[in-house]
Amino acid sequence: MTLRPRPWLDALEPYVPGQTAPLLEGSMASNESPLPVSRALLEAIQGAARTIQRYPDPLADEVRQELARLHGVSPDQILIGNGSDELIYLLGWAYLAGGGSVVCADPAYRMNTVIGTIVNARITQVPLRDWHHDLAAMARIEADIAFVVNPHNPTGTLHSRESLVRFIESSRAKLIVVDEAYIDFCDDPEGTTAISLTGSGRVAVLRTFSKAHGMAGLRIGYLLASPEIIRTLRTIRPPFSVGTLAQAAAVASLRDRTHFTEMRDYVCANRTALSELLAAHGFSVVPSQSNFVLAEVPAADRLIEHLRLSGVAVRPGASLGVPGTVRVSVPSHAGLELIAAALTTWAAQIPATADPA
Ligand SMILES: *Cc1c(COP(=O)(O)O)cnc(C)c1O
């Protein structure tokens, strides 16, 4: 007898991560923070390292206390996960497995379709409109879970809280999961977040320390939802999925708001510079409220190869469901200089036919 994976898993390909560049500043493929790790964070991790012979706090109480204060919710509305990706899996196992259904955008954030496929749920993908989620069309789809990524990845586009509220009121989905991985980079995070809508049990919000907190390598994220949803997910989660070092770093980062705000402002300023640079080369840039920019480019494959040879790694849009584009993570000042130089040599070598008007 040979054991075969469940047949529906044949639809899945292994994850292909973004490329890295030889220099850290040139790595613009994975939406990581372009800034060095702060001293406060390093010290917190070093301090916590002295206790790693013990299991971590399973529910990360200190992190939850800080987050409860920050967001004005009760700690029993918060669940910590090994990155928000783990929390997406938990939601799928609890609410989609064994005949559930999911609606999300096309292109979607990959984990949303991956979990649907893993648990063999029915997946409906609704094409973007004008680079935004088509919320009106998504609302008409009956589903257990609707995933809305706000701002969206890979486009960087944002829906206002008013349009989200309208969606929630009209949606035929039982639970709306709003993934706010990039919300700190938008113009008005407080006025846009769906956190205040999570009490009822109809809405859940995903957040992560991977992006604005610059901690992608530590793997920690969180879910804000009703106490009932949190209780359910607690019963199925692996109890120690978030390590001691990640918890200590998260607490330190939450207590260092000044540094957090500086990092965010730095990224937002460089986003403007990056968008202007790409536009100056004739590329059509999708206005971004995130820490990356999506640009429509001619000869995408050749451009990506040219950038690679110039020490700049970007994400091919083709690998994210948007062929003919590149997704460029907002870099440091040094990174901006690298990509500016690379685009200058690109402009000098492309034939006139590929030259955009
Ligand atoms: C980067 C990203 C995340 C973060 O995932 P982690 O597992 O927390 O690192 C979540 N959602 C979206 C849409 C992302 O792009």
pLDDT at residue 349, rounded to an integer: 87
> Is the beta carbon of 84 within 6 A of some atom in ligand 1?
yes
pLDDT digits (tens, 9 = 90+) for 298-325: 999 999 999 999 999 999 999 999 999 9
pLDDT at residue 9, rounded to an integer: 96
Nearest residue by C-alpha to atom 10 in ligand 1: 181
pLDDT at residue 268, rounded to an integer: 98
pLDDT at residue 1, rounded to an integer: 83
First to last CA, the chain: 63
Q: Which residues of 10-48 are buried (b: 16+ CB within 10 A; e: fewer)?
A: eeeeeeeebbebeeebbbbbbbbbbeeebeebeebbeeb
d(CA 253, CA 258): 10
Instruction: Judge whether residue 355 has pLDDT over 80.
Output: no
Query: Measured in angstroms, how far is the CA atom of residue 348 from the centroid of ligand 1?
Result: 37
pLDDT > 90: what percent of the chain?
A: 96
Instruction: Judge whether residue 357 has pLDDT over 50.
Output: no
Query: Measured in angstroms, how far is the CA atom of residue 181 from the centroid of ligand 1?
Result: 6
Residue 99 CB contacts under 8 Å (≥ 6 apart), including other chains: 121
How sure is the predictor about 351, in pLDDT bands with cuts at 50, 70 and 90?
low
* Closest C-alpha among 265, 324, 325, 316 to residue 291: 265
Q: What is the mean pLDDT of residues 72-80?
A: 98
Nearest residue by C-alpha to atom 2 in ligand 1: 181
Instruction: Write down how long the chain is.
Output: 357
d(CA 167, CA 162): 9
Structure tokens at 59: 């529910």
Q: What is the mean pLDDT of residues 154-163?
A: 98
Ligand 1 pocket test, candidate residues 112, 155, 210, most atoms within 8 A of CB: 210
Q: What is the mean pLDDT of residues 325-339?
A: 98
